[in-house]
Amino acid sequence: MTTIDTPTRPLDFIREIVEDDQRSGKNGGRVVTRFPPEPNGYLHIGHAKSICLNFGVAAEYGGRCHLRFDDTNPSKEEVEYEDSIVDDVRWLGFDWGQHRYHASDYFEQLYQFAEHLIANGNAYVDSLSADEIRQYRGTLTEPGRDSPFRSRSIEENLDLFRRMRACEFPDGAHLLRAKIDMASPNMNMRDPALYRIRNERHHRTADAWCIYPMYDYAHPLSDALELITHSLCTLEFEDHRPLYDWCIENLPLPSRPQQIEFARLNMSYTVLSKRKLLQLVREKCVDGWDDPRMPTLAGFRRRGYTPAAIRNFCERIGVAKRNGVVDVAMLEHAIREDLNLTAPRVMAVLRPIRLVIDNYPESQAEEFDSPINPEDPAAGARKVPFSRVLYIEREDFMENPPKKFFRLSPGSEVRLRSAYFVTCTGVVRDDAGEVSEVHCTYDPATRGGGNAPDGRKPKATLHWVSAEHAIDAVVRLYDRLFVSENPEDVEEGKSFLDMINPSSLEVLSACKVEPGVASASAGTRYQFERLGYFCVDPDSEPGRLVFNRTATLRDTWARIAAAK
RNA sequence: UGGGGAGUCGCCAAGUGGUAAGGCAUCGGUCUUUGGAGCCGACAUUCGAUGGUUCGAAUCCAUCCUCCCCAGCCA
């Protein structure tokens, strides 16, 4: 065996930088990354991209990745979110070992470093109001003006800052600012805020502080203190990089991390902003953060997605600096690809109609072997009970079939998967004239559903379930949450909420499933043959299973029918 | 009209001066006890535009165009 023809995936620009750094011996060859979520919401598929990147790069280059909570704003953060983030990152399959940190772990050090900046004349306490500061900042095209407090003495700054820490002032009375350049063309360099007063309880440090550091200050220092080598973040922080570097250059830090920006993930038919996701939850447009229609990791988990599928998806979309929109079909492909190989097959009838086999003995019943997974012969077979009265899918029968409809119709013969060939002989109608029962005869010579002795080959194979053996189930059919490819792009006066798909959830409560799944536990995934992938929802109760549809199977007939 | 980024197939995305990878989607065919899956094939004479340099340019230079981000005491 040689590895010559092993196709090598080209490196993305970040891995290229990391490899260059390793070659040149920068950072002593160490690679340390971090995933720094703010605990103010649930993680979504966009975060998965960042998680896979950060943990992936670390693993590939023999380094490590820290999980660090960016908890510098007590008014937005909660423990519930922190717990969910821990669960989700673990579920995705990543491990930070002992390296779980919080920006708040560094509050004392961050404070001391702030005094250091003041002592060196690199920071000052401003006492302008928020509104005045905005006015002094200038605009995109006009430079800002120095605050009248910019020239306070070091002693006065130190005194004021210490009194800020001592909680002597109300919110907004003072602000610690970096002394950089009010005329900078980069707005972030016009004396950015470093510390603000927030007389508020923090979910971890409780009442220890009433001043809290800003992201732009806390982030680079946290990175440096943790000896992070490559600090990967999204594009919108690109113009913060000079400030990131400024903080590091002006303080005696133990290391010099490098910030590198990449494009965040956008996906069609999806919304990925924490604010909007929070709104969907708060306004009850969905059933919570883990609603299977949500693009949150908790939602995908409940929907039946596997961590491997999400990781493969993240690998496949790549990492670059171009803003784009990934087709949600790419994600759907990833989950089908995974489940096709791993999900046990089962027969389930979602919209049942009775199929009576007139020439099958009334009292008879038998069991057929059906493959658990044709893609994996080693998985073996399962027993499926069969009897005279079955349920088949209502849409698998048509009294007046159009061309190319190969399923059951008067006079036609189809294969019942793993059972027999069956020929439709007629229908029974209810009082309203609706077909309430389909009748047929079976060919005993086709037992097992294999080929007939005379070589007949039906053009269709139907799934079925024995009426007397079937168990009842509720099936929730999920579809995309939004009807628009870009739900954020709406006309004046409308919001993304107006783009919600009114039929994103259809609940079918009279479904029939083969008995073998009766004791399946929540989270178990199956392929319902010919229909799609489904998983058992935690809402299930004994005797009343609830399934969520993860993804449909490709349906060629539906395409043909839709094309007309 | 300041600054920072980005423009390669419908969507992601390689390519870094030597004559446009791959994936998704789409469309054919084949195979099939899932109209599933698999397999085979098609799918950018062209890289935002225009000039220029060069034997040769998506790659270098110039000019122009388009899109994204920045004026939170959010991250």
pLDDT at position A492: 82
Mean pLDDT computed over A134-144: 97
Q: Which residue lies nearest B15, CA-to-C1' measured?
A: A10
Q: What does the H/E/C string look like for A54-79?
A: HHHHHHHCCCEEEEEECCCCCCCCCH
Domain enclosing residue A520, as ranges: 274-344+473-563
> Which of A's residues 123-142 have CB atoms within 7 A of nucleic strand B?
128-130, 133-134, 137, 139-141
Strands A175-178 and A123-126: antiparallel
**Contact partners, residue A77, CB within 8 Å, separation at least 6:** A38, A39, A40, A71, A202, A203
Q: Are residues A433 and A493 in the same domain?
A: no
CB A267 within 8 A of CB A316: no
How many Å from the CA of A25 to C1' of B49? Answer: 43
**Is pLDDT above 70 for A149?**
yes
Kindly report which amino acid residue has its CA closest to the C1' atom of nucleotide B38: A375
Q: Is the CB of A143 under 7 A from strand B?
A: no
A516 CA vs B16 C1’ separation (Å): 58
**Residues A216 and A106 occupy one common structural domain:** yes
| Banded model confidence at residue A175, pLDDT cuts 50, 70, 90 | very high
Residues A55, A36 within the same domain: yes
How many angstroms separate the CA of A375 from the C1' of B39?
A: 14
Among the candidates A262, A295, A324, a domain finishes at A262
Residue A3 forms part of a structural domain: no
Same domain, A196 and A90: yes
What's the confidence (pLDDT) of residue A5? Answer: 45
Residue A562's pLDDT band (boundaries 50, 70, 90)? confident
Please indicate, yes or no, if residue A295 is contained in any of the structural domains. yes
**Which nucleotide in the DNA or RNA is closest to residue A38, CA to C1'?**
B75
- At A493 the pLDDT is 86
User: Do A230 and A257 form a contact (C-beta atoms < 8 A)?
Assistant: yes
A315 or A561, higher pLDDT: A315
Query: Which nucleotide has the least CA–C1' distance to A133?
Result: B73
User: A4 falls in which pLDDT band (50, 70, 90)?
Assistant: very low
The Cα A76–Cα A212 span in angstroms is 13
- Angstrom distance (rounded) from CA A222 to CA A100: 12
Q: What stretches of A307-364 adopt beta strand conformation (E)? A: 345-346, 348-349, 352-357
pLDDT at A560 exceeding the cut of 90: no
Q: Is residue A61 part of a domain?
A: yes
**Whether A459 and A485 share a structural domain:** no
How many domains does one find in chain A? Answer: 3
Chain A residues 361 to 400 whose Cβ lies within 7 Å of strand B are 373-375
B strand bases under 7 Å from protein CB: 1-8, 10-16, 21-25, 27, 33-38, 67-75
Query: Domain with A511 in it: what CATH number?
Result: 2.40.240.10
Q: What is the pLDDT of residues A331-389, one digit of tens each?
A: 999 999 999 999 999 999 999 999 999 999 999 999 999 999 999 999 999 999 999 99
Is there a single domain that holds both residue A65 and residue A206?
A: yes
pLDDT digits (tens, 9 = 90+) for A53-85: 999 999 999 999 999 999 999 998 889 999 999
- Domain membership of residue A8 (yes or no) is no
pLDDT on residue A9 = 80
| A551: β partners | A533
Nearest to A75 by CA among A194, A188, A198, A235: A198
Q: Greater confidence, A170 or A491?
A: A170
Q: What is the mean pLDDT of chain A?
A: 96
d(CA A374, CA A370): 9
- Nearest nucleotide by C1' from A137 CA? B71
Q: Would A2 be classed as within a structural domain?
A: no
The answer to whether A31 and A58 are in contact (CB under 8 A) is: yes
Instruction: Tell me the CA–C1' distance in angstroms for A59 and B69.
Output: 31
Last residue of a domain, one of A408, A435, A463: A463
Same-domain status, A90 and A214 = yes
Same domain flag for A325 and A360: no
Model confidence band, residue A234 (pLDDT cutoffs 50, 70, 90): very high
Shared domain for A245 and A356, answered yes or no, is no
A436, A463, A490: which is the final residue of a domain? A463
Per-residue pLDDT averaged across A491-501, rounded? Answer: 93
Strands (E), A417-518: 421-429, 435-443, 461-462, 464-466, 471-478, 505-513
Spell out which residues of A between 62 and 121 contact strand B, using CB within 7 Å.
70, 72-73, 76
The answer, as to whether pTM is greater than 0.90, is: yes
Q: Which nucleotide is nearest to A337 (CA to C1')?
A: B37
Same-domain pairing of A88 and A192: yes
A269 found inside a domain: no
pLDDT in tens, A304-335: 999 999 999 999 999 999 999 999 999 999 99
Q: For position A7, what pLDDT does the model report?
A: 54
- Known catalytic residues of A are 38, 264, 274
**Residue A480 near residue A328, CB atoms below 8 Å:** yes
> Percent of chain A having pLDDT more than 70?
99
Q: Which nucleotide has the least CA–C1' distance to A195?
A: B73
pLDDT of residue A2: 33
Tell me what the mean pLDDT of segment A432-440 comes to: 96
Which nucleotide has the least CA–C1' distance to A177? B73
What pLDDT score does A563 carry?
A: 78
A505 and A541 assigned to the same domain: yes
pLDDT confidence tier of residue A212, bands split at 50, 70 and 90: very high
A530 touches strand B (CB under 7 A): yes
- Residue A201 token pair: 């309880």
Give a yes or no: residue A552 inside a domain.
Answer: yes
Ranking A209-213, A344-348, A542-546 by mean pLDDT, the lowest is: A542-546
CA distance A101 to A194: 21
Q: Are residues A445 and A526 in the same domain?
A: no
Note whether residue A22 is domain-resident: yes
| DSSP-derived pairing of the beta strands A100-102 and A64-69 | parallel
Answer whether any strand B atom is within 7 A of the Cβ of A320.
yes
